Structure 1
């Protein structure tokens, strides 16, 4: 039997630098109207040249621990969901543990791209089954602008940087939510639809110029089709196995990829627009950070109230997808 997994002290952080659609017109052949009509995005955040993903993770981790009233020494695990690590090794989680002076905690990264938050919830629940007294700092962070080709208007307009974090434990904390259920899936046969280069498959010698394989690539039309179908299907499956109808959900928080995908999934699930939360207009797609960033904002503006049930879903490179039910 799975242990109770509670998320508390959910916090979010986005870098100060904002790139508007008008800013992007100076980098590639596009316009505010072209971007907004196709994506619903007006602006996105970009980390500073002196920052890395681990720096964003440290900022949001400190906010979370402060909100939770939890000493670093009480942590047993640090888990980071990201597909834009500072380097292949060490992990963002280990870099973060060192920056926090966390001591000998278990620390590791997971890479499920935009589905990272959901994969992480599944893992934290498993860790709590093994150790019900664990205090897990779970951070979702992305530095996607470091892997963007700014001359490719089909991808550069979509992505931004950001981070979010929470403490996962068996105990209730500030603003806590219970993980009622989570379901994660993948299809590796479609891995070529979305990719972020920079790994060992990029066989560069010292002094070589970085090639196109270093940057994010996406087959947009096929990705859209699979994203809409799989997010819809996994939500329906999750609700069915919990004996719930969509009417039992107070708020739907989908991955903030673009408005066309959000609207298509909402339509298929028959969710009224006033029960869907979006912030893609101001943040773009922040991959693993997308859902927790949206959840934190929804809480801060009163869209999620005590007792409310929230359905979240995401789809990302891998291909990966999933859904979760949270009770606040």
Structure 2
């Protein structure tokens, strides 16, 4: 089997930052209320002129530069997003922006689990020998789709993008994974289509509409995450044949600091091994894991050869974990 190395990372966020104090002037809430329940202090929000494609492209440029891979040499681009600029997808726009004319591209939608699902998808193409160089991007602009009068959801989300480059390599650094879904819990977290009947003909009525704001059963999502995330990490570690104590860093989807703390407690891992930038960015959905990775690489925390246990969880409901070593080792 062909090996895989993860050789570069990048990230991008909008310029506009909204603090909890700022948000308290928009909806009935407070800095103390948000911080104690979520760990979030501020978030970046896209302006009307910002685009998901531009954020994804900026993150991609950084990842390509760090990895030493030219855009023209990419074989595949996988964009994990639930908030594409175009319902037909935004991956092709990113390809055009980069000049990656030899790459096949597609969007992948798995909400906050999207980056993990995209990495695993990319790994299959590389390990079968189909492609050698794949750009994986996680990007979301959920500020477009929240109800700014609902303090239970609007305080949670921020916008951003993150990316990594995965390449064929002599030794395999992508060690194992586990992916899961449970559609019976789909109603716990939705960004649903809102249909309006449109009589087209006496024999045909179609629907026209829009998407409703994000709705979430916070208690159920919390219960799901603290139970399923430790379990899926342990399963992925088993498949990777990596003992828990040999993991250098745990990088989870940044949904809520209480979830991160609960997972660390259940796995009995030192809190300092659980990377978090939630306070500065909020929940950026598919972007959150690569955002954390890139910041930790830039800060010198994540070093080549170190082992990362990553886990995403969210709408679907879906959840998954991927275990890999950073860099060429």
Q: TM-score, with normalisation over the residues of structure 2?
A: 0.91
Cα drift, residue 65 of structure 1: 2.3
Map 1:291-310 to 2 at 5 A: 291-310=289-308
1:132-151 matched pairs, under 5 angstroms = 133-151=131-149
Cα-to-partner distance string for 1:108-167 (whole Å, 9 max, x where unaligned) = 010011111110111011111233552112111100111111110000011100101121
Residues 105-114 or 33-42, more deviating: 105-114
**Among candidates 173, 176, 197, match of residue 178 of structure 1:** 173
Match of 2:158 among 157, 160, 185: 160
Contact 2:112 2:314 in 1 (8 A): yes
Deviation, structure 1 residue 204: 7.4
Give the C-alpha shift of residue 24 in structure 1: 0.7
Structure 1 residue aligned with 2:6? 7
Report the count of equivalent residues: 318
Within a 5 Å distance, the mapping from 1:38-187 to structure 2 comes to: 38-89=37-88, 91-131=89-129, 133-171=131-169, 178-187=173-182
User: More strand by proportion, 1 or 2?
Assistant: 2
Show the counterpart of 2:269.
271
CA root-mean-square deviation: 2.1
Could you say which residue in structure 2 is the equivalent of 1:202? 195
Name the structure 1 match of 2:202.
none
Q: For 1:231-246, what aligned pairs fall within 5 Å after superposition?
A: 231-246=229-244
CA contact (8 A) 1:160 1:285 kept: yes
Mapping of 1:182-261 within 5 angstroms? 182-197=177-192, 199=193, 202-203=195-196, 214-261=212-259
- Aligned equivalents of 1:277 and 1:8: distance in 2? 19
Question: CA–CA distance in 2 between the matches of 1:179 and 1:188?
Answer: 28
1:254–1:312 contact (8 Å) kept in structure 2: yes
Counterpart residue number, 1:29:
28
**1:79-124 alpha-carbon deviations (Å, 9 max, x no partner):** 10001111211x1111211222322531101001111111011101
Which string of whole-angstrom CA distances, capped at 9 and with x for unpartnered residues, describes residues 193-227 of structure 1?
A: 11113x4x53477xx9988x521111000010011
SS in 2 for 1:5: strand
Gaps of 5+ in 2: 199-206
Counterpart of 2:260 in structure 1 is: 262
Counterparts in 2 of 1:61 and 1:242: CA distance versus 1, 3 Å:
closer
Contact 1:19–1:46 under 8 Å retained in 2: yes
> 1:209-265 CA deviation, whole Å, 9 max, x = no partner?
988x52111100001001111101101212233343321111111111011111111
* Structure-1-length-normalised TM-score: 0.91
Q: Indicate if the aligned counterparts of 2:74 and 2:102 stay in contact, CA closer than 8 A.
A: no
Q: How far apart are the structure 2 equivalents of 1:270 and 1:129?
A: 33
